[in-house]
């Protein structure tokens, strides 16, 4: 059985993960509006991944006899100053999510919740990858600067994400 504290914290994390999906779909729409289809596809794929993360928490709660309670999701931004600005914000958002996961891991330890500890280990590793991928794109966009040819090449590369 999952403790009430863990259940509540996981329900909050579901909201965080669904907001992430919502944010990345908004970024995808932003990139579509710039005709940067590769960046749009990358963000759409990222949004789907975030939804999958929410479902991992959802299923974990249910498998342990808990109750899922959905919370209101804030409206995400719709515009950014540049592709770089969008990826800098994505990177900052992933850092925020890492903080949320770390708090969950600390709570699982305090609650002596070994099943949560096991599940959260996957998320801890995942967040290393999430921060690395968004940070890498932001750094490449910084290198490209105001060169449209570089942005075009980067867009083509980003569209190859599976």
Is there a contact between 108 and 117 (Cβ–Cβ < 8 Å)?
Answer: yes
CA distance 73 to 64: 25
pLDDT tens profile 41-73 = 999 999 999 999 999 999 999 999 999 999 999
pLDDT tens profile 85-119 = 999 999 999 999 999 999 999 999 999 999 999 99
Please give the structure tokens belonging to residue 136.
């890498």
Give the pLDDT confidence score for residue 87 in this predicted structure: 98
CATH number of 4-158: 1.20.1260.10
- The pTM of the full predicted model, rounded to 2 decimals, is 0.95
SS3 (DSSP) at 39: helix
Q: Is 114 exposed, middle or buried (0-12, 13-18, 19+ CB in 10 A)?
A: exposed
Average pLDDT over the chain, rounded to an integer: 97
Is residue 129 over pLDDT 80?
A: yes
Is residue 146 over pLDDT 90?
A: no
Is there a contact between 127 and 87 (Cβ–Cβ < 8 Å)?
Answer: no
């Amino acid at each position: 059985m999952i403790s009430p504290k863990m259940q509540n914290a996981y329900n909050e994390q579901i909201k965080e993960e669904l907001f992430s999906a919502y944010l990345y779909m908004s970024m995808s729409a932003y990139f579509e509006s710039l005709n940067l289809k590769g960046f749009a596809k990358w963000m759409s794929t990222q949004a789907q991944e975030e939804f999958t993360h929410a479902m991992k928490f959802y299923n974990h709660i249910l498998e342990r006899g808990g109750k899922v309670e959905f919370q209101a999701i804030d409206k995400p931004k719709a515009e950014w100053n540049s592709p770089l600005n969008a990826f800098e914000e994505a990177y900052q958002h992933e850092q925020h999510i890492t903080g949320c996961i770390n708090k969950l891991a600390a709570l699982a330890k305090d609650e002596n919740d070994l099943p949560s500890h096991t599940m959260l280990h996957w998320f801890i590793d995942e967040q290393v990858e999430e921060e690395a991928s968004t940070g890498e794109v932001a750094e490449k966009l910084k290198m490209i600067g105001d060169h449209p040819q570089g942005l075009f090449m980067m867009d083509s590369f980003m569209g190859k994400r599976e």
